[in-house]
Homo-oligomer: A and B are copies of this chain.
């Protein structure tokens, strides 16, 4: 059942059927009704491939992420999909894992599928070493690239993100103001936002200035399961590194810290304060509930799609949009 069949049954040309379908050109009310009746009767749906071939677009946007089951990423994907669909676009999902070469491979795969744009979710797509970002710039020459929660300089690359630096800076300062000195920073990603967060922490701690603390001790990179995070902190304690607060780059790390406190008989927040990041559902599952930094994911996603649609319309769009984060105070801190 194609447009020819419909045109025959309705006694008009395929051009007229096409016009009715797309509602652009003028068609007399009478023929429009007849055509619609036939379409309805036959249950006809235009062939999306043929349309795609002609228009060189299937109104589809690729979403690239490392791991769509991570609660934060999952939430982002949900928001993005909703917004895209509201604008008549489909979402093609692609999980790359964390390997840089895989990311590049999947980016090319999406491009070969001729998506109208590619959205990178998570700042871990922007690598520290800039030559590893070249494939993104290359891709940007064929379609607009949207980065959710990150940014990268380059033409046709649009980033929306939170001011992570400032958020962590403020959080650290708030801990200090409430009497903490030995604040540990725990993170699991060398990404764009990862290094911003770290910088915020370092700026607030001023290790160089005075501090009797050893920077290397208090800046802890660790990637692993909740269990392993707990064990890692325990091993730090055993090494003699003492801390009265932990700031993390992700809620799951903070959960690990909470488990560490439980296991070592430390009361939270009295003996150990903990701050998570992302304000994900995890922050409400534990006891006490996590104080967490909310990086305004919904606003970021919504802005990302709005920007993309503006790009499609050929409007002027800022290459970078920054929201400010908010500290959501719950039970693991006492400020």
Contact = CB atoms under 8 A, between A and B. Distances in A.
A58 B49 contact: yes
Contacts of A252: 281
A163 interface: no
A74 B81 contact: no
Given A47-B53, A49-B56, A92-B90, A281 B71 contact: yes
A116 B284 CA distance: 40
A45 B287 contact: no
A233 interface: no
B53 A81 contact: no
B47 A114 contact: yes
Contact of A95 (B52, B68, B82, B287): B82
Say how many copies of this protein the assembly contains: 2
Contact of A78 (B68, B226, B286, B287): B68
A324 B279 CA distance: 35
A125 to B, nearest CB: 17
B114 A95 contact: no
A78 B95 contact: yes
A285 B287 CA distance: 9
Interface residues of A, number: 46
B81 A94 contact: yes
Contact of A50 (B53, B85, B285): B53
A67 interface: yes
Interface string A88-115: 0011111100000000000000011110
Nearest to A226: B284
A53 B55 CA distance: 13
Given A74-B68, A78-B68, A287-B286, A48 B90 contact: no
A78 B95 CA distance: 7
B75 A113 contact: no
Contacts of A227: 284
Contacts of A52: 49, 52-53
Contact of A69 (B48, B60, B75): B75
Cβ-closest 3 pairs across A and B: A74-B74, A69-B78, A49-B52
28 contacts: A46-B112, A49-B49, A49-B56, A49-B58, A53-B53, A58-B113, A68-B77, A68-B78, A68-B81, A69-B74, A69-B77, A69-B78, A71-B281, A77-B93, A81-B93, A81-B94, A81-B95, A85-B95, A90-B92, A90-B113, A91-B92, A92-B92, A92-B93, A226-B284, A255-B285, A259-B287, A262-B287, A282-B282
Given A81-B95, A82-B95, A262-B287, 10 more contacts: A48-B114, A49-B56, A50-B53, A52-B53, A68-B74, A77-B93, A91-B93, A226-B284, A226-B285, A286-B287
